[in-house]
Amino acid sequence: MSRRRTLPVMAVVAASGLILAGCSSSTSSGSTSSGSSSPSMSSSSASMPQVDASAFTADFSVMTQLKDLAAQGKGMVGVLLPDTTTSTRYVQYDAPYLKKAFETAGLSADQFKIDNANGSASTMQTQAEADINAGASVLLVDPLDPGSGAAIESKAKAAGVAVIDYDRLVTGGPKDRYYVSFDNVKVGTLIGQGFVQCVSDWNVSKPQVLVMDGDPTDNNATLFAQGYNGVLKPYFDNGTYTKVGEPAGTWDPATAATTFQQQLTAHPEINAVVTPNDDNANAVISILKGNGVKPKTFPTTGQDASLVGLQNILTGYQCGTVYKPIYLEAQAAAALALYLRAGDTPPSTLVNATTKDTTLNADVPSVYTTPIWVTTANMKDTVVKDGAVTTAKLCAGDVASACTAAGIG
């Protein structure tokens, strides 16, 4: 993956003084705008707004600048999300933030549709076909696996529908497509760097590290591993750390628990785990607690800033987590979809990266948003400030004193 050079075009930033639309609850139904506003806007490319990938904010103000673009587009945008179990993000954040992004740009309720396949590739296929039959002009696909994602995308392309890989790259997808995600190698790098810092902060001498990857059918898991393994390699190579193993990866916490238990039985010296998932980390931590392991002695890592992950950080069982503000990714995806829906080439200020599709051996033009490593030190100013978690939930029960110590609540 590489950053693309961005051109010094007049970036539309989250300018102050703009009227914010759709900032209230994300549970309301679609706005009534029919897409027929702004008759003054006639030529699409001459007036095309140059949205910058780094300009999205929590108040969705950039989306209000895309109303004319939205009014110029035709057809429906279909969004296909994968499941409700590997992460709470899809229900809690992706669906409502995508809805809010489309609505803020002025799409009406019948101009976009957001489905979740509940873990079933055939359900996603059916949802995709329904979207295509309903006149979709753009499809956003967050695949369950690359094969089923590519099948959906080639069908969409054959029907003249533009496709965007959402969050997970559909390796082997059609050549002519886009990708929107966080910089996933960076996600892994943050995990690796956070781990190294934590090993030092917690004075873990001679770390015996078990590396527990995510599901290998998710291309993100490969990229996360690239990131943290890149950081850890010199420590393994020079003998500061010992790599005990890197068993088959999973996004299923129950499988992660079994794997960890087996590894710990075979290698009782394990005293640290690197993993890119809060729930998998929690499976490990439950076993550690059962074994009487004390706080701040056994580093673990995670991703997604889940409630349990954040609590494990506060109580000293997890070093940190990667927080991905999904409102950034959702707006980036919605903005890109609006350009394609209007038949425009998206600006290079938005399409700021490329991602290697190793199956096609081709670079996919990409939009990257930026992930954040969250520890006790910055939890208040990141996830709490963003309202990604309420202090009432975060600081419940025996986490209360840790919250007080961290200045939260």
The site for ligand GAL (CB under 6 A) is made up of: 86-87, 89, 167-168, 218, 220, 251, 277, 304
Q: What is the DSSP letter of 12?
A: B
Least distance (Å) between residue 88 CB and ligand GAL: 9
* Residue (85 or 208) nearer to ligand GAL, CB: 85
Least distance (Å) between residue 224 CB and ligand GAL: 8
* Residue (131 or 279) nearer to ligand GAL, CB: 279
Least distance (Å) between residue 377 CB and ligand GAL: 23
* Residue (103 or 304) nearer to ligand GAL, CB: 304
* Residue (324 or 341) nearer to ligand GAL, CB: 324
Least distance (Å) between residue 90 CB and ligand GAL: 7
C-alpha to C-alpha distance for 63 and 61, rounded to whole angstroms: 5
Least distance (Å) between residue 220 CB and ligand GAL: 4
Least distance (Å) between residue 173 CB and ligand GAL: 15
* Residue (137 or 306) nearer to ligand GAL, CB: 306
* Residue (86 or 189) nearer to ligand GAL, CB: 86
Q: Do 146 and 73 form a contact (C-beta atoms < 8 A)?
A: no
C-alpha to C-alpha distance for 40 and 219, rounded to whole angstroms: 44
Least distance (Å) between residue 79 CB and ligand GAL: 15
Q: Do 70 and 1 form a contact (C-beta atoms < 8 A)?
A: no
* Residue (194 or 347) nearer to ligand GAL, CB: 194
* Residue (183 or 304) nearer to ligand GAL, CB: 304
* Residue (119 or 234) nearer to ligand GAL, CB: 119
* Residue (91 or 360) nearer to ligand GAL, CB: 91
Least distance (Å) between residue 247 CB and ligand GAL: 17
The residue number whose beta carbon is nearest to ligand GAL equals 87
C-alpha to C-alpha distance for 344 and 48, rounded to whole angstroms: 8
Least distance (Å) between residue 82 CB and ligand GAL: 8
Q: Can you read off the two tokens belonging to residue 392? A: 């009432």
C-alpha to C-alpha distance for 131 and 241, rounded to whole angstroms: 51
Least distance (Å) between residue 330 CB and ligand GAL: 13
Q: What is the DSSP letter of 38?
A: -
* Residue (216 or 343) nearer to ligand GAL, CB: 216
SS (H, E, C) the chain: CEECCCCCCCCECCCCCCCCCCCCCCCCCCECCCCCCCCCCCCCCCCCCCECCCCCCCCCHHHHCCHHHHHHCCCEEEEEECCCCCCCHHHHHHHHHHHHHHHHCCCEHHHEEEEECCCCHHHHHHHHHHHHHCCEEEEEECCCCHHHHHHHHHHHHHCCCEEEEECCCCCCCCCCCEEEEECHHHHHHHHHHHHHHHHHHCCCCCCEEEECCCCCCCHHHHHHHHHHHHHHHHHHHCCCCEEEECCCCCCCHHHHHHHHHHHHHHCCCCCEEECCCHHHHHHHHHHHHHCCCCCCCCCEEEECCCHHHHHHHHCCCCCEEEECCHHHHHHHHHHHHHHHHCCCCCCCCCCCEEEEECCCCEEEEEEEECCEEECCCCCHHHHHCCCCCCHHHHCCHHHHHHHHHCCCC
Quickly tell me which residue has 């600048």 as its tokens: 65
Least distance (Å) between residue 81 CB and ligand GAL: 10
